[in-house]
């Protein structure tokens, strides 16, 4: 990466970074990498893999990105996500589908953080990012304001297939998985429309209940 080549310092502190990597050894070791046994499946049919537990500094970075503060850190976090997920993959999907934002929210924010975070991973794996297959057809209420049952109802028919699926094996990618309600809804839609295998990947996964309050 040209940006890193020009900057020999860690993206998080003043120490020299690991060659070809955005962070120094200390910051790399301090990240809340998710343990393999914490990657519980979200349902019988849907496997789930995340790079990190939703804890600082990852949670702070994600919130900063969402509110448009630390946009330059999107690329760094995308690279770290790729570093955490790649060794966990048992097989490579045909394509990655970042969870879409509703058009109004995308317009307001200017970017979809799930898409941006998935870019380094898609590049490393050499698979396409699907951005025009699924549309978020309903502006859902913020999930933080709802309990688990309300979340499921809130998400019903939140997504719509815009064109026929051309891939059978897909990975859905989201920035954060909390209850998994959003991604499960999307996985069902894909599986009901020709997908044969769907995994859910994310940058971070909330492990503690109180973490729900901080996520979308």
- Where on the chain is the footprint of Zn ion (CB under 5 A)? 10, 12-13, 15, 24, 27
* Nearest approach, Cβ of residue 83 and Zn ion (Å): 15
* Residue number with CB closer to Zn ion (10 or 176): 10
In whole angstroms, what is the distance from residue 26 CA to residue 178 CA? 28
Distances (CA, A) of 107 to 33, 110, 188, 215: 32, 5, 27, 20
Contacts of 180 (CB under 8 A, 6+ apart): 42, 43, 48, 200
* Residue number with CB closer to Zn ion (12 or 54): 12
* Residue number with CB closer to Zn ion (23 or 130): 23
* Residue number with CB closer to Zn ion (21 or 137): 21
* Nearest approach, Cβ of residue 28 and Zn ion (Å): 8
- 3-state SS class at 36: helix
* Nearest approach, Cβ of residue 22 and Zn ion (Å): 9
In whole angstroms, what is the distance from residue 22 CA to residue 16 CA? 10
Reference 50, options 212, 202, 180, 170; nearest CA is 202
* Nearest approach, Cβ of residue 8 and Zn ion (Å): 12
């Amino acid at each position: 990466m040209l940006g890193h080549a020009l900057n020999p310092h860690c993206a998080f502190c003043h120490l020299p970074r690991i060659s070809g990597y955005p962070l120094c050894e200390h910051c790399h070791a301090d990240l809340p990498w998710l343990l393999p046994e914490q990657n519980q499946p979200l349902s019988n049919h849907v496997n789930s893999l995340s790079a990190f537990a939703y804890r600082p500094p990852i949670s702070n970075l994600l919130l900063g990105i969402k509110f448009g503060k630390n946009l330059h850190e999107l690329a760094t976090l995308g690279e770290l996500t790729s570093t955490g997920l790649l060794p966990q993959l048992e097989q490579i999907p045909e394509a990655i589908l970042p969870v879409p934002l509703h058009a109004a929210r995308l317009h307001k924010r200017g970017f979809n953080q799930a898409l941006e975070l998935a870019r380094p991973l898609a590049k490393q794996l050499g698979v396409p990012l699907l951005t025009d297959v699924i549309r978020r057809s309903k502006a859902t209420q913020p999930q933080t304001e709802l309990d688990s049952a309300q979340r499921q109802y809130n998400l019903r028919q939140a997504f719509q297939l815009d064109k026929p699926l051309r891939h059978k094996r897909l990975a859905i990618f989201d920035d954060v998985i909390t209850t998994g309600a959003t991604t499960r809804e999307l996985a069902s839609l894909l599986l009901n429309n020709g997908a044969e295998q769907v995994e859910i990947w994310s940058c971070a996964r909330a492990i503690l209940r109180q973490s729900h309050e901080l996520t979308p």
